[in-house]
Amino acid sequence: MQPWFVYILQCRDGSLYTGVAVDVAKRFAAHQAGKGAKYTRAHPPESIALTLPCINRSVAQKIEYAIKQLSVQQKRCWIAGDLTQLAGRFAQNEKGIWLEPSPCLVFEDIPIVVVSDQL
């Protein structure tokens, strides 16, 4: 099964855009070409700020939604490496892949890592 990714783009006007894709580099190119989301046509992206690998599309979309509920300041904390905002809702496996939460999972025991923004 191919992993899905949640990504955050830094736009030229300083705003952030969050989305999901299987191939982030291809999706980023589409956004830059004006063929992506309506938001990125009005706010062209300049870089990929963060990518998070997810076990499947469903988890990626849930994390995308949760990120979109955060303030810009909280999102910038994520980009800077502070991934604690969603740690109580989602967990990662030993490879850093984001998973569905489990009722028996102790989130404090799971290391949270920043995934390289270089694809």
Structure tokens at 67: 């990120």
In this prediction the pTM is: 0.74
Binned at pLDDT 50, 70 and 90, residue 26 comes out as very high
Q: Which range has the worst mean pLDDT, 14-23, 24-33, 60-69?
A: 60-69
Q: Which residue has the higher pLDDT, 24 or 101?
A: 24
- List, in sequence order, every residue forming a beta bridge with 45; answer none if it has no partner: 11
pLDDT at site 14? 94
Helix, coil or strand: residue 28: helix
Residue 74 pLDDT: 81
**In the block, which residue shows the tokens 């990518």?**
51
- Domain 4-109: which topology? GIY-YIG endonuclease (3.40.1440)
| Residue 17 scores a pLDDT above 90 | yes
First to last CA, the chain: 19
What 8-state DSSP symbol labels residue 81? T
Q: Where are the alpha helices (DSSP H) in the chain?
A: 24-32, 38-42, 57-68, 72-80
Running DSSP on this structure, what letter comes out for residue 115?
A: P
Residue 98 has pLDDT above 80, yes or no: no
Length, in residues, of the chain: 119
Q: CB neighbours of 102 closer than 8 A, spacing ≥ 6?
A: 91
Task: Provide the residue ranges of all domains of the chain, joining segments of one domain with +.
Answer: 4-109
Per-residue pLDDT at 27: 97
> Which pLDDT band, with edges at 50, 70 and 90, does 42 fall under?
very high
pLDDT of residue 78: 73
> What's the token pair of residue 15?
């705003």
77: its two tokens? 């904390």
- pLDDT score of 43: 96
Q: What is the band of 37 on the pLDDT scale with cuts at 50, 70, 90? A: very high
